């Protein structure tokens, strides 16, 4: 199987070098077909070698790929690109950001019962405020838009010196994300799927997200789903929660939630908050998906202060790699990665960010932690 990879910026190359051998070894132990790895350039390495932070060759290769994995990417100053990650998501139509969140035994967390958390977040990835339509205060564009909103649409209380952002959300974009979330929930025996939104205030954007979600459930999955107040043993329960209330629910009653479908910004907040409840972003895996490409990635940043110091935690990329193996049909190899990482944490020989959560643990470097996971396979 061919898999493209991008090492990433900052700590990216270090966590990749710790991750790749574990993935290859897990496959070998399960007699899986070896991966044919192909490196693609993006970020600082791409700019150094090609002059562009996101070369056309990289985008073309990804457009024809089925699987890819990457470390964290920064955005080079002066590149003309607002965010490399956003550019990849929009250019490749990676509309679904999928983040499973589950506690690993042995870690200390801010909540009393992190073991109750077992959720998968489906975050819409290409619309909402992340679509990048905004204008700086006092620019001609902002002034012109403010004038149009006031004079033509009757918008009141809009200052002429305001910075302005636009929040586009479409029926197509919302429904395809929710459809993927519901299908996942049904395929994996989950009990409920919850639409998280701020529709009580933003009635025509996030309120529409809620409405479109219920339409998808009723029209496309009606025989297999039910509303929260309806009977129907064995059917997937469709819920909805206001975004701010959902943060409280995640703290107080996490066991009542399985799959979450949310617009872009709410999903960004919620996925990081849940990661903090279960050990931090250092152990949070994820994948960005289109209908043809699954692009797995470390969910944290480039951590430039740790780059080159062999101090990073490769856990997020390792667990994202396990998701990759699972998507390739290598479920046993994926299980080996997860078990080996859990065992390493149980042995209390962990990177510094995890050691700070674990009494009696010893700190190891990124490379050594990767070797420990490899030995545990």
**Annotated active-site residue in 63, 144, 244, 309:** 244
- Residue 132 has a pLDDT of 77
State the number of CA atoms in the 13 A half-sphere of 328 facing the CB: 28
Rounded to an integer, what distance in angstroms lies between the CA atom of residue 100 and that of residue 319?
10
Q: What are phi and psi of 225, to 5 degrees?
A: -130, 160
- Residue 285: burial class (beta carbons within 10 Å; 0-12, 13-18, 19+): buried
Rounded to an integer, what distance in angstroms lies between the CA atom of residue 70 and that of residue 298?
7
Q: What are phi and psi of 275, to 5 degrees?
A: -60, -40
Pairing of strands 294-298, 285-289: antiparallel
Using alpha carbons, select from 312, 352, 349, 309 the residue that is nearest to residue 19: 312
* CB neighbourhood size of 331 (10 A): 13
Asked about 291 being catalytic, the answer comes back as: no
Element (H, E) at 26: helix 12-29
**Annotated active-site residue in 9, 258, 268, 353:** 268
**Annotated active-site residue in 7, 167, 180, 198:** 198
DSSP β-bridge partners for residue 102: 118
- Residue 79 has a pLDDT of 55
pLDDT tens across the length of the chain (377 residues): 899 999 999 999 999 999 999 999 999 999 999 999 999 999 999 999 999 999 999 999 999 999 999 999 987 665 557 789 889 999 999 999 999 999 998 888 889 999 999 999 999 999 998 877 899 999 999 999 999 999 999 998 888 899 999 999 999 999 999 999 999 999 999 999 999 999 999 999 999 999 999 999 999 999 999 999 998 889 999 999 999 999 999 999 999 999 999 999 999 999 999 999 998 999 999 999 999 999 999 999 999 999 999 999 999 999 999 999 999 999 999 999 999 999 999 999 999 999 988 888 899 999 999 999 999 99
> Is residue 194 within 8 Å of 240, Cβ to Cβ?
yes
Asked about 118 being catalytic, the answer comes back as: no
Rounded to an integer, what distance in angstroms lies between the CA atom of residue 61 and that of residue 88?
12
> Is residue 374 within 8 Å of 25, Cβ to Cβ?
yes
DSSP β-bridge partners for residue 123: 97, 262
- Residue 334 has a pLDDT of 98
> Is residue 22 within 8 Å of 376, Cβ to Cβ?
no
Element (H, E) at 5: strand 2-6
Burial 66-79, CB ≥16 within 10 A → b, else e: ebbbbbbbbbbeeb
Asked about 272 being catalytic, the answer comes back as: no
pTM: 0.94
- Residue 232 has a pLDDT of 87
> Is residue 123 within 8 Å of 96, Cβ to Cβ?
yes
**Annotated active-site residue in 95, 130, 184, 257:** 130
Using alpha carbons, select from 254, 291, 288, 293 the residue that is nearest to residue 270: 254
- Residue 356 has a pLDDT of 83
User: What structural domains does the chain harbor?
Assistant: 1-105+281-377 (3.40.718.10), 110-122+168-277 (3.40.50), 134-165 (no CATH)
Asked about 9 being catalytic, the answer comes back as: no
Rounded to an integer, what distance in angstroms lies between the CA atom of residue 83 and that of residue 76?
9
């Amino acid at each position: 199987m061919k898999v493209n990879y991008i090492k990433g910026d900052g700590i990216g190359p270090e966590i990749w070098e710790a991750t790749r051998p574990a993935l290859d070894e897990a496959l070998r132990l399960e007699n899986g077909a070896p991966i044919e790895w192909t490196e693609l350039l993006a970020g600082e390495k791409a700019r150094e070698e090609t002059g562009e932070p996101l070369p056309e060759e990289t985008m073309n290769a990804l457009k024809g790929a089925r699987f890819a994995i990457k470390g964290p990417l920064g955005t080079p100053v002066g590149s003309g690109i607002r965010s490399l990650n956003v550019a990849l998501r929009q250019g490749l139509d990676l509309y679904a950001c999928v983040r499973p969140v589950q506690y690993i035994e042995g870690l200390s967390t801010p909540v009393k019962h992190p073991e109750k958390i077992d959720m998968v977040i489906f975050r819409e990835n290409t619309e909402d405020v992340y679509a990048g339509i905004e204008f700086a205060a006092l620019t001609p564009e902002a002034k012109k838009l403010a004038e149009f909103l006031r004079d033509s649409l009757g918008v009141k209380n809009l200052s002429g010196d305001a910075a302005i952002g636009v929040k586009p959300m479409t029926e197509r974009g919302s429904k395809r994300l929710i459809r993927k979330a519901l299908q996942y929930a049904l395929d994996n025996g989950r009990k409920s799927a919850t639409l998280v939104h701020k529709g009580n205030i933003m009635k025509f954007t996030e309120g529409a997200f809620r409405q479109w979600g219920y339409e998808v459930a009723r029209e496309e999955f009606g025989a297999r789903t039910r509303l929260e107040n309806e009977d129907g043993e064995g059917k997937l329960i469709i819920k909805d929660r206001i975004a701010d209330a959902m943060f409280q629910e995640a703290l107080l009653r996490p066991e009542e939630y399985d799959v979450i479908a949310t617009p872009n910004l709410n999903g960004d907040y919620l996925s990081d908050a849940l990661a903090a409840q279960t050990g931090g972003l250092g152990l949070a895996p994820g994948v960005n998906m289109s209908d043809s490409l699954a692009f797995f990635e470390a969910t944290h940043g480039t951590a430039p202060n740790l780059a080159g110091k062999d101090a990073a935690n490769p856990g997020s990329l390792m667990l994202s790699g396990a998701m990759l193996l699972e998507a390739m049909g290598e479920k046993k190899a994926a299980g080996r990665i997860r078990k080996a990482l859990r065992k390493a944490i149980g042995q209390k020989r962990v990177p510094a960010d995890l050691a700070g959560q674990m009494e009696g643990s010893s700190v190891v470097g990124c490379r050594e932690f990767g070797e420990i996971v490899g030995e545990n396979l």
